[in-house]
Amino acid sequence: MTQSRDHGGNLDAAMARFGGTSNDWLDLSTGINPMPYPLPPIPQTSWEVLPRKTEMARLSNVAAKAYNTPARVIATSGAQGAIQIVPWLRAPGRAAVLAPTYNEHAAALRACGWQVDEVSKLDALAGADLAVVVNPNNPDGRRTTPDRLQALSQQVGLLIIDESFGDPEPDLSLAPQLEQDNVVILRSFGKFYGLAGVRLGFALAQGSLADRLADMVGPWPVSGPAIDIACQALADTNWQEQTIDWLAASSDRLDGMAQKAGWEVVGGTPLFRTYATPDATAAQNALAAHHVWSRIFPYSNSWIRLGLPKDDRWSQLEAAMEAATCK
């Protein structure tokens, strides 16, 4: 199954077609937390000098504690930066991606000469030279237990687990048990902390695989300000707990609104929800007429995905969904 590299966050295209300014629009086409972590003061020196090894090590140590992992944590330019590196971790062969999912995994592998099979069952990944599982999955929220991932790691050459949406569900993560030398776990900082512009992510791995990842990202993969922000946010357990509660309540509220509109809950995570509609394109257009932007997918005529609005923008979403229901 071949997919184009389409993404959420393409608000420019929405404005070009439906008008309005960025302030008018409620962009729910991504799964980024709309209530971001409050930025701490950033020392002037963080802007002026290259990050020192001690600062990079501090970031890795704080992240390892936050993810409760014995693995080495390598900072990357967003989870996307790690996805671009993955195809180069071994010579191209046969890759298998548990699909449908975030399309950059298959696209990045194909661009580097891999033969990629997109499969619908976890068992179909067995025997691949490289296998990819997004957990929890984007966009349908499919979840794979750590035990099943442990077993899968013994059946593939290299296992990539993308946990970009895993922060609200720590029990789902394989990170605390990551001792194998053929597994890479990807984490996103920007999604849960609502600071996608920081462009920070992490790759977790062990042994020579971790060494190779570190060599490939180079000595300064992230900025000094990103280090300062992330070190505070990753250690702020009070904010994390409050945010997990807010996300859970907000996603339940969104599910209720969707069901009232006659949409069926497909699944998702606390950061985004995916619904089955009679016609996804028609639903997206109806919402867009009220300056609410959503995400639809080339492989489904019915699925539409919505992120969460800020606390003061729920009324705009509710009005748009009511109007969409009437069409």
Whether the pLDDT of residue 306 is over 80: the answer is yes
Whether the pLDDT of residue 2 is over 50: the answer is no
Whether the pLDDT of residue 326 is over 80: the answer is no
Instruction: Identify the pLDDT of residue 5.
Output: 65
Pairwise CA distance, residues 122 & 251, whole Å: 27
Residues 6+ apart with CB under 8 A from 248: 168, 270
Pairwise CA distance, residues 228 & 222, whole Å: 11
Average pLDDT over residues 218-232: 97
Sorting pLDDT into bands at 50, 70 and 90, what band is 325? confident
The pLDDT tens digits for 164-185 are: 999 999 999 999 999 999 999 9
Whether the pLDDT of residue 327 is over 80: the answer is no
Whether the pLDDT of residue 16 is over 70: the answer is yes
Structure tokens at 192: 């849960």
Assigned CATH for 44-235: 3.40.640.10
Whether the pLDDT of residue 272 is over 90: the answer is yes
Q: Which CATH number fits domain 11-36+238-326: 3.10.20.30, 3.40.50.2000, 3.40.50.920, 3.90.1150.10?
A: 3.90.1150.10
Domains of the chain, by residue range, sit at 11-36+238-326, 44-235
Average pLDDT over residues 34-41: 97
Whether the pLDDT of residue 3 is over 60: the answer is no
Pairwise CA distance, residues 210 & 214, whole Å: 6
By DSSP bridging, strand 158-162 and strand 183-188 are parallel
Whether the pLDDT of residue 105 is over 90: the answer is yes
Instruction: Identify the pLDDT of residue 44.
Output: 97
